[in-house]
Amino acid sequence: MALKEQKIGFLGAGKMASAIIKGLIKYGIDPANICAGEVYPPSAEAARKDFGIYVTNDNAEVVKKSDIVIVAVKPKDIEAALSASGSTCGKLFISIAAGVKIADLEKMAGSGARVIRVMPNICATVLQSATGVSQGMNASREDTALAMEIFSAVGTAMEVPENLLDAVTGLSGSGPAYIFQVIEAMADGGVYAGLDRGTALKLAAQTVLGAATMVIESGQHPGELKDMVCSPGGTTIEGVAVLEQKAVRAAFIDAVITGAEKSERLGKKK
């Protein structure tokens, strides 16, 4: 069955769920085919108002109404949400919870449950997520194709084996926070050099956007693109030398590795 013919339910209607709903509606999914379970009244009301979808505080009702169930509650709340969801027979569950393994999700959802585990990021709120997708033991290739289609509606989706989802979490799951700090720091430098705050922030953000677009669209290695900007004896190579002296690249590598290791530890908690 094509995605646009599926009934899609959300367990949770927080920021990430709302971002996905926004993307699906923009993609062409009828809001009448989307519902959500949310116990926090402000989030429930926001989902009703912003998207025109049906919202209830009854997870079992959401599961019953849906062909695809996107599990968008906090990792600590997943077991309770799934245990209250009633019959899971014939349903496809897609979890966006960091660190919660497919095997554990399958147990929580019941024997034979079809599970896909994904790791999107906060940039889904502007339809620019970088998402890793992993297929569970009982899920089919058709199930994975549906998950890829859903998360392609909010950015870029890539299929990876589950043992690499912790790496995805450390890299693209946590990565926006690192880049937000880069933008802030570059803007601070601009202010120090005399620019007003608003101008510096816009220039810094557009610079990051432009550089990312060049990497994606050119297909060139970032090192090659960096060399294109570094004229002999110029301003840029002096700035790059400072970044090397401060071990900025090593710090980013360590941040990604640390995030991946934390995700792995979360998956081992029972």
Average pLDDT of each block of 10 consecutive residues along the chain (270 residues)? 90 94 94 96 96 95 94 90 77 92 90 91 93 96 96 96 95 97 98 98 98 97 98 97 98 97 80
**Cα distance between residue 179 and residue 34, in whole Å:** 32
248-268 and 235-245 helices, crossing angle to 10°: 50
Contact 60, 86 (CB under 8 A): yes
Confidence at residue 137, expressed as pLDDT on a 0 to 100 scale: 93
Confidence at residue 174, expressed as pLDDT on a 0 to 100 scale: 95
Confidence at residue 13, expressed as pLDDT on a 0 to 100 scale: 95
Contact 230, 240 (CB under 8 A): yes
Confidence at residue 270, expressed as pLDDT on a 0 to 100 scale: 52
**Cα distance between residue 195 and residue 189, in whole Å:** 9
Confidence at residue 2, expressed as pLDDT on a 0 to 100 scale: 86
Confidence at residue 85, expressed as pLDDT on a 0 to 100 scale: 73
Confidence at residue 90, expressed as pLDDT on a 0 to 100 scale: 83
Output DSSP code: residue 169: I
pTM: 0.90
DSSP structure string for 187-245: HHHHHHTT--HHHHHHHHHHHHHHHHHHHHHH---HHHHHHHH--TTSHHHHHHHHHHH
Contact 20, 70 (CB under 8 A): yes
Backbone angles phi, psi at 79, to 5 degrees: -60, -45
The strand order across the sheet containing 155-159 reads 54-56, 34-37, 8-11, 68-71, 92-95, 114-119, 129-135, 155-159
Confidence at residue 111, expressed as pLDDT on a 0 to 100 scale: 73
